Structure 1
Amino acid sequence: MSLWRYEARRAGWPACLAPPASLLVTLALAAAGAAFGTPRPSVHSLLLSGVEALVPLAAATAAVTVVSVDRCRELQLTLPTGYSLTLGRRLGVVAGIGAALSVLFSVALRLTGSWTGPDSPLASALVWASPLLGLTGLALLVAVLGRSVVLATTTVAVVWLCQQLFASAMVAGAWSRPFFLFLTSREGVADGWGTNRAVLAACGVLFITIALLLLRRPERLLTEEEL
């Protein structure tokens, strides 16, 4: 446990607090909507969007900071333990927090009758797990390739925002629908939902695998100031 507490501190409290903060924002928006007379189905849809859209965004942004911000990175590269393993533990802490909170939040929505996602527990996990994998994998890959917090966070933000703005077009397009992050909250468990969740998860695994392969040469993470 001490190792994981240490890695959590090294990952940074802002990164660890990003997923819970996203759910607090979701609850605040839902409470405000209910207070102003928003219909219950719309409030429930907003709550589902929090776990499907906001938690993955928070986890992906946190992953960028974990990869890109490490003041002792050049020292870490001299140690026997591979940097990719150390980095993986820190990313695992952030992803684990997001996953645990998503499960608890989903269970709470079920118990309160606010859950509008799939009935199956396994399918329910895919509501948040697939977009979390896809978006976090993209963030990790761009951070490793670009060695820039700005580039990685901008890429993630642009992808997330464009999918929100052009949701109707992405849902309607046969080629774009499998890559749409927010299919559950926008369309429900409709035709192609399983394919969509599988494609997002597969893309995330692919991006993470490529990033880890690149990290076999961890010196590529060093910036000009660190060289």
Structure 2
Amino acid sequence: MRPLTLWRYEARRAGWTAALGPPVAVALGVAAALANPLPGDANTARVLLGALEMAVPLAAGVACASLVGRDAAVELQLTAPTAYRVTLLRRMAVTLAWTAAVAGAMAVALIVTGWWARWPANHGALVGQLTWVAPTAGLSGLGFAAGAVLRSPGAAGALVSTVWAVQQFFGAAAQETRPGRLLYLFATTRGAVPGDWAANRLVLLGAGAGLVALAVLLLGRAERLVHGEDA
């Protein structure tokens, strides 16, 4: 199979969740800012950046959670020359590349129009991209690892959504301890202890990478992927 054809196939196999999730997340964020304008440009900018920090990572995390368990005949996949975990990593790469393209386009639009700078805690046009990159990495890694452990797209997606919701609605409690602050997903638009933002972003990136590594390790065990078999 030619490389371009292969990547197109993997993009299709990633599913509609991966294709529609990021643009829908961005569209909802923009619609929220337009439909319910808040007093002051800073508040509107916060809503727009919040779409990048909150909605886009959730869409990516749920999409990555749906990758494991989508193939009806996984036994055939396991007999292919290419390891099944490599196939899943390709699908994850396609999912995250599309997410990055959508989020990056929105970020550029906000920078060009000046809305990015209107949020005081924007952290600049370059480093500030960690606003969406870090939580996207964290939730995507969690989703992929949950899929590998649970082998159920629905259960893995529910876990990602639950973690997101807990941090969304109990943000103050999450930031009462140092570990909670370092793993907080919304440090740019919901606030962070002064000096903790950079560490928070780096920890989320590291956590995402570690969870992907765990998933790859688990997916190397063929018996975990065959339904009806015990891990």
Runs of 4+ in 1 over 4 A off after TM superposition: none
User: Hey, what does 2:71 align to over in structure 1?
Assistant: 70
Alignment-derived partner of residue 171 in structure 1: 175
Tell me if the contact between 2:182 and 2:199 (Cα under 8 Å) persists in the aligned partners.
yes
Using the size of structure 1 for normalisation, the TM-score is 0.92
Measured on the aligned residues, the alpha-carbon RMSD in Å equals 1.7
Q: Which runs of 5+ in 1 are unaligned?
A: none
Q: Residue 2 of structure 1 aligns to which amino acid in structure 2? A: T
User: In structure 1, what is the Cα distance between the partners aligned to 2:146 and 2:52?
Assistant: 24
Secondary structure in 2 matching 1:96: helix
Pairing 1:7-46 to 2, within 5 Å after superposition: 7-34=10-37, 38-46=39-47
1:114–1:120 CA distance, 2 compared to 1 (3 A):
closer
C-alpha distance in structure 2 between counterparts of 1:86 and 1:4, whole Å: 10
Identical residues among aligned pairs (%): 40
Task: Name the residue aligned to 1:103.
Answer: 104
C-alpha contact 1:59 1:94 (8 A) present in aligned 2: yes
> Which one-letter code corresponds to 1:48 in the other structure?
L
What per-residue deviation string (whole Å, max 9, x for no partner) do you get for residues 64-89 of structure 1? 11212222322111111111111111
For 1:42 and 1:218, the matched residues in 2 are separated by 50
Report the CA distance between 1:160 and its aligned residue.
Answer: 0.4
- Return the alpha-carbon distance in structure 2 between the equivalents of residues 188 and 209 of structure 1: 28
Deviation at 1:189, TM superposition (A): 8.8
Q: What are the Cα deviations for residues 96-139 of structure 1, in whole angstroms up to 9, with x where unaligned?
A: 11111111111110111111311151x12211111111111111
Aligned partners of 1:212, 1:43: CA distance in 2, in Å?
A: 40
Native 8 Å contact 1:139 1:156 kept in 2: yes
Q: Distance in 2 between matches of 1:113 and 1:188?
A: 23
* Secondary structure class of the residue paired with 2:175: helix
Q: Is the 8 A contact 1:11 1:66 kept in 2?
A: yes
Output the CA distance in 2 between the equivalents of 1:12 and 1:209: 23
5+ long unaligned stretches in structure 2: none
Question: Deviation of residue 63 (structure 1)?
Answer: 0.9
Aligned to 1:141: 145
Query: How many residues get paired?
Result: 222
Deviations 1:150-201 (CA, angstroms, capped at 9, x unpaired): 3212211111001011112223432310010000011169421010001111
